[in-house]
Amino acid sequence: MPWCDTCDVYLAPNSVEAEGSCPTCQEPVDHGDRVTETERPIPWHFWIVVAALVAYLGWRLIEGVGWLAQRI
C-alpha cells in the first residue's frame, strides 16, 4: 500500500499521481513490497486443471465423432 512519509498517511493506489508522487505534498511515495500481477508465478495446480480439461475435452471430441459416425 502506498505510504507518504511527509504526510504520514496511507494512500489509495488510485490516488497516487502518475509519476508516483503524493497528491497533497507532491513528494515521492513509498510503494512498499508490491508484487505486480506479471511477477506472480502461475500455480502448479492450475496446470493440472488445464491438463485434465484438455484430456476431458479430447475424450468428449472422440466420443462425439464416434457418435456422429454411427448416425451417418
Q: Are residues 34 and 51 in the same domain?
A: no
Residue 40's pLDDT is what?
77
* pTM listed for this prediction: 0.46
* Residue 10: closest CA among 21, 2, 18: 2
Could you tell me if 50 and 32 lie in one domain?
Answer: no
pLDDT in tens, 12-69: 878 888 788 888 888 888 876 655 556 778 899 999 999 999 999 999 999 999 999 9
Q: Are residues 2 and 34 both part of a single domain? A: yes
**Range of 45's domain?**
41-72
Burial class of residue 22, CB neighbours in 10 A (0-12, 13-18, 19+): buried
Same domain, 21 and 1: yes
Question: What integer pLDDT is reported at residue 36 of this predicted model?
Answer: 56
CA atoms within 13 A on the CB side of 7: 17
Q: What is the number of residues in the chain?
A: 72
β-sheet bridge partners, residue 7: none
Looking at the fold, whether 24 and 47 belong to one and the same domain comes out as no
**pLDDT score for 2:** 82
Mention every residue, 6+ apart, whose C-beta is less than 8 A from residue 5: 27, 30
